[in-house]
Structure 1
Amino acid sequence: MTEAKSTRRVNRGRIFPEIQWTEPQKAQWKAERQAFKQRCELIFAQVQPELLKTHYNWYVAVEPESGEYFLDKDAFIVAQKAHAKYPNVKLQVFRINKTGVCGRI
């Protein structure tokens, strides 16, 4: 008796091909990302002094188009709150401390 060979093909590596970006596309993406970050940082800088007093080490998610922000002790929950009200938009999450950074290296 002979065994039947499996014809199933095993995927090795990525399923989708990598996106090949040109240098101008990369530069445009970085510039858009930097502009978005700056708009969010402006809103965060306005509310940070007051939030430092009441919500130290909490997280704030900023939606720059409306200027609205969301607060919570957990970074994932604050993002969920923001995405519940504004689905399919980009958000920036900051930690409410003197630097605004969520972690350290």
Structure 2
Amino acid sequence: MTGSDDSVRLRQAPDVVACTLEGGNALLDLASSNYYTLNGSAAMIWEWLGSGATVAELIDRMLETFDVEREVCADDVQAVVASFEDAGLVVRGD
């Protein structure tokens, strides 16, 4: 992730459109013309970012959904969010 603050609110970037696929989502970044496919758990994170969420909130929601250890969940969520940020798919702030 570009920053390590789990309390910063993240949102989907405005130039990214999504469609639901069986088992996940497909994203198209209109600014870069890059296309991405997301597995089921990454698609859930993407959907939750639609209304804005912090990394801490995403971790809590994943823990409510899946039976996984907090440390493993946190690492996985942070990796997904970092990949979204690296690709320019999310923006930081309120």
TM-score in terms of structure 1 length: 0.27
Higher RCO, Cα 8 Å, sep 6+: 2
When Rg is computed on C-alpha atoms for both structures, the one with the higher figure is 1
**Which has a greater percent of strand?**
2
TM-score in terms of structure 2 length: 0.29
